[in-house]
Amino acid sequence: MSSTPELIRIGTRAAPMATFQAEQVAALIRKHAPDTRTEIVTHTTEADKWQGDLARLGGKGLFTKAIDEKLQRGQVDVAVHCMKDVPGDQPLPEGLIFGAYLPREDVHDVVLFPNGSDHSSLEHLPPGAVVASSAVRRKAQILRDRPDLQVERVRGLVGSRVERLDKGAHGWSAMVLSMAGLRRLGLEGRAEQVLSLEEMLPAVGAGVIGVECRRDDGPVLGVLQQINDEKTMKELTAERVMLHGLRGHCNSPIAGRCVTGPDGQLVLRGMVFSREGAHFAHAQLWGEDGNDPAVLGARVCAELLRQGARDLIMGIPH
């Protein structure tokens, strides 16, 4: 038995959504380890300050990189990340491991319209209308169904994105965001249309908060084990093994979702799109071989590659 740590310092980005997530982790730690104190250490990442194209700054890994470095240096004891923001094309930083995942929240993407807009669904937008969305995965799936719409990149904090939508400054008719993110900001009331999983397959890791720690930190790992949600961990493992195997880059429209059936059997669905969604690979398989999540992830990946996922990924510049 390793000893219970006296204090766990929780590293997080300074953004409102991120600090909310860190508070959630702190509360869980205190519940399961009442003798452990928690402290939240915030950090403003380069990616938060940058309003341009993330790929040019070094990819989406920048949201997690600085916090991970603090964790490696021992300046914090855990790092809290949205699993959606953890890069799938590179291994975890040296010496770090995810010790816990919180139970997965709503994975749906939703559509918001400017305050006072007449519209309440993407289908009814006029041709040429501009939809704000930063994720290439969302762009591909919007254009697959509505190639006549325009999709424009939007960056910055989610709260300020919604403010910009309401001001009408960019001529945006709609904006696509995740339900989980809006909930964390208390903005779920702004979600006008919930996109079905057929219309919009979510990102790998959507709705999952991960808690990372140093691989050799036994006491902290012990606490994280107690707050870990086993079902979420299995689903996420399947999704991320698929993602790693596809070796996508940060401009790769890749979607994936694993769910656990009532009997515990996993089912994983993965999709890879061309930039405008006109072409895609699609696979859905059930867990076999003892229902091993990693095996399932590798099988779905292999099926996507067989359907030409590699060409789709390489066909998009990065």
Ligand X SMILES: NCc1[nH]cc(CCC(=O)O)c1CC(=O)O
> Which sequence positions are flagged as catalytic?
85
Confirm or reject binding of residue 256 to ligand X (CB under 6 A). no
Confirm or reject binding of residue 200 to ligand X (CB under 6 A). no
Among 79-87, 88-96, 254-262, 293-301, the segment contacting ligand X (CB under 6 A): 79-87
Confirm or reject binding of residue 165 to ligand X (CB under 6 A). no
Report the C-alpha gap between 199 and 2 in whole angstroms: 47
CB of residue 161 vs ligand X: minimum separation in angstroms? 8
CB of residue 163 vs ligand X: minimum separation in angstroms? 15
Could you tell me the end-to-end alpha-carbon distance of the chain, in angstroms, rounded to an integer? Answer: 47
Q: Using a CB cutoff of 8 Å and minimum separation of 24, what contacts does 67-74 make?
A: 67/11, 67/12, 67/13, 67/43, 68/93, 68/96, 68/212, 69/93, 70/11, 70/41, 70/43, 71/11, 71/96, 71/212, 71/213, 71/214, 72/96, 72/214, 74/214
Confirm or reject binding of residue 190 to ligand X (CB under 6 A). no
Report the C-alpha gap between 126 and 174 in whole angstroms: 11
Among 82-90, 185-193, 229-237, 245-253, the segment contacting ligand X (CB under 6 A): 82-90
Confirm or reject binding of residue 301 to ligand X (CB under 6 A). no
Q: What residue number has its CB nearest to ligand X?
A: 181
Is residue 78 within 8 A of residue 22, CB to CB? The reply is no
Pair of tokens at residue 130: 């501009």
Candidate residues 5, 87, 207, 293; the one interacting with ligand X per rule CB under 6 A: 207
CB of residue 209 vs ligand X: minimum separation in angstroms? 8
DSSP state of 95: T
Confirm or reject binding of residue 178 to ligand X (CB under 6 A). yes
Give me the residues that bind ligand X (CB under 6 A), please. 82, 84-85, 158, 177-178, 180-181, 206-207
